[in-house]
A and B are shown apart, each in its own frame.
Chain A
């Protein structure tokens, strides 16, 4: 069983819609979670971090964490074509700095 799982997609949404990206994890030792956005050939870019149960909002992005269900999600409101990228979910294994990544979800926002 993979430690962090994501639906690889591709996920296609129309411009202006809400994109919902999901991630589940198996290691209860992971307490901190990160969402990275990666354009092809570029570095993963941190867009959200979340450490506590509940929602965290930053502009058009909302991260949700449910530790009981071992579930992390990222909502992107008013999706733009420039949001088209691969979104990587990562958990910090045992709070030591070692990130465990999912395979990433490819998002395509159609004009």
Chain B
């Protein structure tokens, strides 16, 4: 089966611009997660979708970040307007079921650079 795929792999934009990241989870996985790793820090949770509903968005840094998952398939994460501190690697992960013992499968990430 195809793994979690993310687009683009790398994005370089200027401060104040808008960027949209996309994640295609593994087929049949209802649970989709976004994480972010900024330089020198650990990977941090942003939010969790169950199908098209936001289950937990406690990690979203501010209202410049908007995540959607229309139809419960792929998800997008939009940053508008981008700030310098948004630079980092954005990972998407998916799992078939929700729960503590459900392994999450990660994509290769989108490396976002804000100039």
Chain A residues in the interface with B (C-beta under 8 A): 2, 4, 31-32, 34, 36, 41-46, 49, 51, 88, 90, 92-93, 95-104
Contact = CB atoms under 8 A, between A and B. Distances in A.
Most B CB atoms within 10 A — which of A41, A42, A90, A97?
A97
25 contacts: A34-B103, A34-B104, A43-B3, A44-B91, A46-B104, A46-B105, A49-B103, A51-B100, A51-B101, A88-B43, A92-B101, A96-B56, A96-B98, A96-B100, A97-B31, A97-B33, A97-B55, A97-B99, A97-B100, A98-B45, A99-B35, A99-B45, A99-B93, A103-B41, A103-B42
B102 interface: yes
A111 B97 CA distance: 41
Interface string B42-79: 11110010000001101100000000000000000000
Contacts of B109: 43
A36 B103 CA distance: 10
A97 B96 CA distance: 11
B48 A97 contact: yes
A88 B107 CA distance: 15
B87 interface: no
B73 to A, nearest CB: 18
Interface of B: 3-4, 31, 33, 35, 41-45, 48, 55-56, 58-59, 91, 93, 95, 98-109
Nearest to A50: B101
A103 B40 CA distance: 8
A89 to B, nearest CB: 10
A44 B106 contact: yes
Contact of A95 (B43, B95, B99, B106): B99
A97 B91 contact: no
A31 B42 contact: no
B100 A43 contact: no
